[in-house]
Amino acid sequence: MAKRTAKAKPKAKQKAAKKPVAKKSASKSKPKPKAKPKRAVKAKPKAATKPKPKAPPKPKAPPKPKASIAAAPSDRAGNRDQLQREILEMARELYGPEQTDAQLLALDPNDIDEMDPSIFYELIGERYGVEADSDNDYFGGFGGPISKLIDFVAKQWDGRTNKTTEMPPGEWLGDFVHPAATKATEAAPPPEQADEEDQDYGEA
């Protein structure tokens, strides 16, 4: 019999030596985490500063009244001359341009029925700032001949007030008042006699 040849046992496969895995270098640092965005810090609103209350303005002292200085005799005489010129101009415009100074001075506006004398007296009072005398029953002191009216105004006038006044319509004056005034002055007594009659009236 033939001999069995012994089969060689297969050699165990040698395990391939594993290559050592190179460790990651420790020098490589881990990636830093991304920095979180900083929150914007809101600035605290500043406390509103209250405006300091202003001190109330000091009350102004009332103006001191000016002491009224009595006009000297020469000033009074000058004021009366001025008043006479201006009042006669107004009277001439109201009662007729043909009237002389003497006729107008002797004329009592109350004698002209065509125009209420108060119209003339109000114009005079407004122009010179003169008020009627409440104790005088005859038109508050304005009544009587125009010469007396001038005396009354001269006593009260301050010497400064002189406003522009509006006269009545010239056409109406020319048609009605001027003719009536002409008749009244022609029939009037002379100025001297008129003064005597006024004195008698005041004494009565």
Whether the predicted pLDDT of 74 surpasses 50 = no
Q: Is the pLDDT of residue 51 over 50?
A: yes
Average model confidence (pLDDT) for the chain? 75
* Within a domain: 114: yes
Q: Has residue 56 got a pLDDT over 50?
A: yes
How many structural domains is the chain composed of? 1
93 and 175 in contact (C-beta within 8 Å)?
A: no
Q: Residue 83 domain-assigned? A: yes
Q: Look at residue 56 and tell me if it is in a domain.
A: no
Q: Does residue 189 fall inside a structural domain?
A: yes
Average pLDDT, stretch 117-139?
Answer: 94
pLDDT of residue 112 exceeding 60: yes
Residue of higher predicted confidence among 149 and 40: 149
User: In this predicted structure, which of 1-10, 30-39, 134-143 has the lowest mean pLDDT?
Assistant: 1-10
For residue 87, give its domain range: 73-203
pTM above 0.75, yes or no: no
Is residue 115 a part of any domain in this protein?
Answer: yes
For residue 141, pLDDT over 90 is answered with yes
Determine the average pLDDT of the residues in 146-150.
Answer: 96
Residue 136 pLDDT exceeds 60: yes
Residue 35 lies in a domain: no
| 57 domain residue, yes or no | no
Whether residue 88 is contained in a domain is answered as yes
Residue 55 has pLDDT above 80, yes or no: no
